[in-house]
Structure 1
Amino acid sequence: MSETKKRGRPRAFDEAATIEKAREVFWDRGFEGTSLDALSAATSLNRPSLYGAFGDKEDLYLGTLAGYRDDSLVAMEEALDPSLPLRENIAEIYRRALSTYLSGETSARGCFLIGTATAEAIQHSRVRDMLRQSLEAFDAEIEARLMLAVERGELPKEADPKALSLLASSVMHSLAVRARAGAPRDMLEDLARAGVDMVCGRAPQK
Structure 2
Amino acid sequence: MEQKENKRARGRPRAYDPEQAFSSARDVFWRSGYAGSSLDDLSAATGMNRPSLYAAFGDKHALYLQTLDRYIEASRQKMDQILAADLPLAQALQRVYDLALAMYLPSGDDARGCLLIGTAATPAVADIEVRDRLGDGLRSFDQAFEIRLQQALEQGELAAGAEPALLAKLASAILHTLALRSRAGDTRASLEATAAAGVKLICGA
> Which position in structure 1 is the counterpart of 2:193?
190
CA 1:105/1:58 → structure 2, altered by over 3 Å: closer, same or farther? Answer: farther
CA 1:160/1:11 → structure 2, altered by over 3 Å: closer, same or farther? Answer: farther
For the 8 Å contact 2:159–2:204, the answer to whether it is kept is no
1:73 counterpart letter in structure 2: R
How far apart in 2 are the matches of 1:41 and 1:11?
A: 14
How far apart in 2 are the matches of 1:36 and 1:137?
A: 30
> Which position in structure 2 is the counterpart of 1:174?
177
Deviations 1:59-88 (A, max 9, x none): 000111111111111211122134110000
Deviations 1:100-137 (A, max 9, x none): 11127652011111110111101211010001001111
Offset at residue 90 of structure 1 (A):
0.7
> Which position in structure 2 is the counterpart of 1:109?
112
- Which segments of structure 1 move beyond 6 Å, counting only runs of 4 or more? none
TM-score by length of 1: 0.90
> Which position in structure 2 is the counterpart of 1:145?
148
> Which position in structure 2 is the counterpart of 1:79?
82
Structure 2: gaps of 5 or more residues: 1-11
> Which position in structure 2 is the counterpart of 1:6?
none
Equivalent pairs, count:
194
Greater gyration radius: 2
For the 8 Å contact 1:82–1:145, the answer to whether it is kept is no
Q: Percent identical across equivalent pairs?
A: 49
User: How large is the RMSD of aligned CA atoms in angstroms?
Assistant: 1.6
CA 1:67/1:108 → structure 2, altered by over 3 Å: closer, same or farther? Answer: same
Offset at residue 53 of structure 1 (A):
1.1
Of 66-75 and 176-185, deviating more is 66-75
1:94 counterpart letter in structure 2: Y
> Which position in structure 2 is the counterpart of 1:5?
none
CA 1:173/1:85 → structure 2, altered by over 3 Å: closer, same or farther? Answer: same
Deviations 1:128-183 (A, max 9, x none): 00010011111101100000011100012200000000000001100000001110
Structure 1: gaps of 5 or more residues: 1-8
How far apart in 1 are the matches of 2:172 and 2:14?
A: 38
How far apart in 2 are the matches of 1:176 and 1:77?
A: 19
